Every structure is written in C-alpha cells, then in structure tokens.
Amino acid sequence: MLIGLFKEYESQLEEIFTYHLGLRHDDNAGKRVRSLLLLLCTEGAGGDWKKAIPAAVAIELIHNFSLIHDDIEDRGEMRRGRMTVWKKWGLAIGLNAGDAMFAAAFNELRNLEKFYEPEIVLESVNLLSKTCLELTNGQHLDIEFEKRELVSEEEYFRMIKGKTAALLACSCRMGGLLAGKNWRQQAHYSNFGQYLGLAFQVYDDWLGIWGEPLITGKSNFSDLIEHKKSLPVILGFQYFPGFYKKWNEGIGNEQDAARFAEEMIRLGIEKKVLDKVKELNKQSINNLYKMDCSSDIRGILEKLANNLIVRDS
C-alpha cells in the first residue's frame, strides 16, 4: 500500500511517512482506532473487511495528516514518543509532508475499485472530502477559541463535532457504505461513531485535568496549567460567576492547579463532565443497537466503545 508510494519520485517523503506513521519496527504507531472501527463496521454490516482495507488506510492517512499539521499549528514537539515531523525536518518540509499525506489518502481510495462498483467508490470519496471539510472547520474553531475570552458549551460541542467526531463518524459510516447498507442504516453507523467521538473527546478533557499523569503521559493538571479551554473550564464559565477570573489569573503553578482542580470537584464540575461522557456513550450504544450488525462484532464494538472512555491515555 504505502510503501512504494513515492518510489517513482525518488523522494524523501516516503521516509517521513514511515517515520510519522510509526511503521518501523518497535515504533509507537498510535491506537489506529479509526481504521479498526472502519474494518469492524464493514465486517459487522455483512461486508468483507479485507476488501475495505484501502478505505481504512485512507482514513488513517487523513488522521495522520491532521496530526502533522496540528503539531505545526500548536508547536507540539513530541508525538508518540518521537520528535514531531516539523521539529525533525523543519516547518516547510513538515507542512508539505502533511499535504502529501492528505493527497495520498485520496489517492489510496482508488484501490477500492478492485472490489467495488464506481458508484460506491465515488460515495466513499465524497464522504471523505465532506468529512475533511468538517475536520478543518472544527480545527478552525479550535484555533479561534484560543484567542477568545469565553467559549460556550454549545460552541465547544460544535468544535469537537468537527475536530474529533467527524472522522470517527466517517469511519463507521464508510463501513456501512462498503457493506452495501442503505442511507438510513449508514446514518446509524455514522451516529454511533459520532457519539463515540464526542464521548472520547469529553473524556480526554477529563483526563487533561484529573487523569493520572503516570498513566496519561501528560503532566499533572496539564490543561489547567496550559489554560486550555477544555469542557470542564467552559462549564465553569457557564455556571459559576467569577470562575473565569480565578481560572485566568489564579493558576501560576502546579499547586494552584491542584487546588483549582479540587475546587472544581467541589463545585460539581467534574461530575458534570463524567455525566456528559456517560450520556454521550449511552447515545453511542443506542445507535450501535439500531445498526444492522452481526452480534459478535456488535459485542466487540460495544467493548471498544466502553474501553475508549475509561482508557488511560
């Protein structure tokens, strides 16, 4: 699939791809949950997961292109235990490598043509391009929120719907699509992935404040110290007058952050966040049970969904 993609160009891009994707022996390649969901949904919906591999590759490439660019946008220097692409090769090479990966994703979809009718392949292309619009729009909102003083809960959910949930929704819907499911069924697959993505992101926000640093790999109370407008903080803005001022001015070091995290538990914010995770997870599972899906794969998907929101990192 990927190996050899740039062979005819005699280009270093292949080396960068291999590095970022973690394809070398012993490299951390990430959870690859999006491609896993796609293949499971294909098989569960009565299709053949092996035929759907090009779509799974494309989804994973889109996710990884977005990580390469995210790391430039927020100046992230480490990813999966390795230096980020832009940090290792410079901003210009890194930015362009992300673009190349974006192109490679769409290019990969042509390999579906071996097994599927052109109509189906074209629908996959359209689904992926629409999803990338949602993704970039979510990313835009995320960047913009950093510059703003206040963000509402509604705006937050609009942002993560694009930034996090859209690609998970796309992965699941693509499985239904490739297995020949109709639009109504595809919507259930899509909604399962979307709510899963929302639950995942909200839980990630919980981990960013109350997660165990030894396990998450993030520093203690990292999101508070970095003044990240994650959901817990946004709920604070929304429900407690004076919260913004305290959050904005009162956190200088880890001790302040620890005190603030405690205070947020007392205010009931931490519970609100976990309740939200449970609610979103429930909606995800509701959709899972509306999907025409073999019972063994449904069982795996349910387990996967539950594990994603009580995961450690």
Which CB sits closer to a second copy, 48 or 144?
144
Q: How far is the CB of 199 from a second copy (least distance, A)?
A: 22
278 neighbors 306 (Cβ within 8 angstroms): no
| CB of 40 vs a second copy, minimal distance in Å | 26
Pairing of strands 82-83, 78-79: antiparallel
Q: Which is nearer to a second copy, 7 or 266 (CB)?
A: 7
The 3-state secondary structure of the chain, one letter per residue:
CCCCCCHHHCCCHHHHHHHHHCCCCCCCCCCCHHHHHHHHHHHHCCCCHHHHHHHHHHHHHHHHHHHHHHHHHCCCCEECCEECHHHHHCHHHHHHHHHHHHHHHHHHHHHHHHCCCHHHHHHHHHHHHHHHHHHHHHHHHHHHHHHCCCCCHHHHHHHHHHHHHHHHHHHHHHHHHHCCCCHHHHHHHHHHHHHHHHHHHHHHHHHHHHCCHHHHCCCCCHHHHCCCCCHHHHHHHHHCCCHHHHHHHCCCCHHHHHHHHHHHHHCCHHHHHHHHHHHHHHHHHHHHCCCCCCHHHHHHHHHHHHHHHCCCC
Residue closer to a second copy (CB basis): 136 or 216 = 136
Nearer to a second copy, 137 or 220 (CB): 137
Residues that bind a second copy (CB under 8 A): 5-6, 9, 11-13, 66, 69, 72-74, 91-93, 95-100, 102-104, 106-107, 109-110, 113, 117-119, 121-122, 125-126, 128-130, 132-137, 139-141, 143-144, 162
Q: How near is the Cβ of 258 to a second copy at its closest, in Å?
A: 30
Tokens of residue 191, six digits: 């909604």
Residue closer to a second copy, measured from CB, 111 or 220: 111
Q: Which residue, 105 or 309, has its beta carbon nearer to a second copy?
A: 105
Quote the least distance from Cβ 85 to a second copy, whole Å. Answer: 12
Q: How far is the CB of 5 from a second copy (least distance, A)?
A: 8
Closest to a second copy by CB, 55 or 100 = 100
**Residue 269 CB, nearest approach to a second copy (Å):** 27
Contact 98, 73 (CB under 8 A): no
**Shortest reach from residue 280's CB to a second copy, in Å:** 21
To a second copy, the closest distance from the beta carbon of 20 in angstroms equals 14
Q: Which is nearer to a second copy, 118 or 242 (CB)?
A: 118
Backbone angles phi, psi at 75, to 5 degrees: 60, 30
